[in-house]
């Protein structure tokens, strides 16, 4: 029985010697959800669309920024300021008009996640934060769906397939996330532009293998890559018989969610109304070159060595991009005996949103 029409046979001609018409028909019938349309999501979505995965859900509440284009190659300059999920869907349809895209132009959370996920066969974690990663893991376990997860930072990345045929879940590897303030991120530490391309292609490959029911899935194995040395390593992941999620069945509402360091904070409006204080920027020099609110510039990793610049009898307000590093900085000062210190809630991005929109977002 003929499974593909003439146009499909032509389009997927290079697949057919490897997977046959039946395999290609499986790809066309598959339904995959990709959470995140950024650095990892860009290659995942493009290669799966090219491969003919018939239905792809795309989840992302973020908008395209100029700094994204260094690695999020699904977008171009005409997409700036527009929603990533919506624009990604448009580019995928231009690549392969016969695929079906389902767009969720919002961030995934505890309230909407299960409804988003339930109709898809495979979940791809292309997110950039631990809260989403753990949420996806817990729902993958609950709904009995495989989760293909990757993460990247600077020159290094890792990838694995979780919850595949009763294999280990993400919490078997890392039971609980660290506090969100202690987690490095690409906005601060940077990322080599091609790195998410490598990891995203690995995620797309594992997706295709699962759809085709092939062997040697990257389950119970963690693959790591260092792009500078171009070395790949593999580590075994054991299924944890005491795992709170895949053994005891507890979900994100019952388990640990990333927490913030609790320190004094000040809102942009409160700062605007304040008269006398010392303002300190704890970001990196390149960030200050993009935009700044003024004040002293003391990068976070230099703070303890430059305390002599900060008198303890004056009020001090510290800021960074989104508030994470400035909360760390406040904690450092509190530990050193300072009492009149606070962090700008939401960082300079909140200042741009609420006070000075002419500054450059990044």
* Nearest of 252, 250, 201 to residue 225 by alpha carbon: 201
DSSP state of 115: H
Q: How far is CA 175 from the centre of its chain?
A: 19
Say if strands 316-319 and 278-281 run parallel, antiparallel, or are unpaired: parallel
CA distance to 26, 69, 195, 231, per residue, from 226 (Å): 34, 22, 9, 5
Q: Tokens for 267?
A: 């809102």
Active site residue 186: yes
**From 186, 243, 246, 291, the catalytic residue:** 186
Pairwise CA distance, residues 159 & 148, whole Å: 8
Active site residue 320: yes
User: Is 101 in a helix, a strand, or coil?
Assistant: strand
Which positions ≥6 away from 167 have C-beta within 8 Å?
161, 219, 220, 239
**From 169, 172, 245, 320, the catalytic residue:** 320
CA distance to 38, 69, 217, 273, 319, per residue, from 295 (Å): 33, 30, 52, 16, 10
Query: What amino acid positions are annotated as catalytic residues?
Result: 186, 320
């Amino acid at each position: 029985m003929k499974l593909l029409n003439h146009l499909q046979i032509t389009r997927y001609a290079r697949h057919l010697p490897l997977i046959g018409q039946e395999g290609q028909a499986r790809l066309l019938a598959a339904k995959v959800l990709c959470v995140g349309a950024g650095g990892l999501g860009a290659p995942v979505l493009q290669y799966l669309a090219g491969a003919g995965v018939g239905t792809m859900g795309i989840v992302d509440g973020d908008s395209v920024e100029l700094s994204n284009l260094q690695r999020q190659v699904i977008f171009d300059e005409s997409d700036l300021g527009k929603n990533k999920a919506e624009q990604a869907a448009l580019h995928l349809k231009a690549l392969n008009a016969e695929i079906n895209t389902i767009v969720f132009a919002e961030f995934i959370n505890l309230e909407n996640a299960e409804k988003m996920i339930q109709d898809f066969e495979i979940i791809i974690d292309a997110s950039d934060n631990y809260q989403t990663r753990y949420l996806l893991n817990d729902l993958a376990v609950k709904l009995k769906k495989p989760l293909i997860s990757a993460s990247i930072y600077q020159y290094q990345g890792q990838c694995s397939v979780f919850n595949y045929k009763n294999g280990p879940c993400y919490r078997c590897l890392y039971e609980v996330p660290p506090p969100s303030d202690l987690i490095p991120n690409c906005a601060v530490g940077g990322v080599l532009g091609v790195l998410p391309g490598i990891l995203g292609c690995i995620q797309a490959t594992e997706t295709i293998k699962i759809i085709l029911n092939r062997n040697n899935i990257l389950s119970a194995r963690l693959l790591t890559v260092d792009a500078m040395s171009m070395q790949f390593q593999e580590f075994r992941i054991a299924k944890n018989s005491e795992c709170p999620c895949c053994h005891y069945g507890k979900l994100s509402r019952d388990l640990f969610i990333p927490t913030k360091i609790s320190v004094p904070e000040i809102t942009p409006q409160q700062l605007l109304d304040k008269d006398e204080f010392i303002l300190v920027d704890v970001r990196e020099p390149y960030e200050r070159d993009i935009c700044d609110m003024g004040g002293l510039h003391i990068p976070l990793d230099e703070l303890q060595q430059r305390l002599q610049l900060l008198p303890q009898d004056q009020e001090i307000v510290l800021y960074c991009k989104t508030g994470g590093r400035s909360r760390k900085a406040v904690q450092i000062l509190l530990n050193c005996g300072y009492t009149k210190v606070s962090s700008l809630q939401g960082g300079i991005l909140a200042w741009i949103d609420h006070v000075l929109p002419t500054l450059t977002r990044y």
